[in-house]
Structure 1
Amino acid sequence: MIYIKIFWSFFQIGLFSFGGGYASMPLIQNQIVDLHGWLSMKEFADVITVSQMTPGPIAINSATFVGLRVAGVLGAVVATAGCILPSCIIIMILSTLYYRYRGLSMIQGILKGLRPAVIALVLSAGLSLCQASFGLERQDLLRFHSIDYASIVIFTFALIGLRRYKANPIFIMLLSGLVGMLVFS
């Protein structure tokens, strides 16, 4: 049954999404694109884009969008519940344990060891999204005709605006969307 598959997929994502939304993107991609084929990589990139633009955590927004796309409103509710439930259970258990044992050096060591793994997950997700956004599928890396140069230019100007000029991210998103609408329509 599709609802059980959706719930179980997003339960796993919620269970193993350490480090927040960006770190969960490879897990979401694995479940909805690679494993189940519910969305293509381009559709996945669109879901992530919309999930970032809407209020709320990326994983939960993605669960809602994917559930809606795959199985309607009930699918959205089931996917969202599957994504949220593990976090609720885990945070109740961990908060109790953390407040009881927070002074132990072993706990601090575990937390320090998780940080590099979270950075690797975020970097992996970013690279996958860049490939999808720029038309660089894995098999096409050396074929320059498949590269979407307009997307690369928009990305470059957005990155410069954000990093060098400290532009407001909302302004950058709106401007990029407007430029994209003009270029790609």
Structure 2
Amino acid sequence: MTKYSTKFKIKIVKEYWLGGMTLHDLMLKYSIPTAIIIRRWVKQADEHGLESLKVKYNKRTYPQSFKLDVVNYVNTNEVSQLQAAAHFGISASQVNSWCRIFQETGVTGLRDKPRGRPTHMVKSKNRKAIKRLKPTAEEKYKEEIMNLKAELHQAEMERDILKVLATIKKDQKNQRIPRKKR
């Protein structure tokens, strides 16, 4: 069961859109713990419409390619995880989880997990072995491409900063006031 119903979310978003009340006012009026929750609903409704606020009761699985697209979008577009979540119509916690997994384990960590009970049950929970997944050739290429895209984005940002700095220095040099001789 979810904490907030679809009708409740839509009511608050519409009230915010009508104006007259800030996020903080709505938070106090409806006893919501933080304004971030309302901001997330508003952003999601702005991006995907009020229908996106509908409570989803089924567990959704996403392919590895979609997860990589989301992580790549966050890394190369200078957007927050909340903005990426609104863009793709998924939860911000899911985006955060995928970004963390990608940083820790790379592309292999975003692989689809097998569902259901394992074929052989482990006798003791303490003997649970940690398996390191080995990336396939395709996953290695995908990870390398994502890393290269991130490096390219970083280099472009640095280049743009240097261009702006050079323009500022040039403008300052042209605007210097000559000193009067005594």
More helix by share: 1
TM-score, normalised with respect to structure 2: 0.29
Higher RCO by CA contacts (8 Å cutoff, separation 6 or greater): 1
Report the TM-score when normalising by structure 1: 0.29
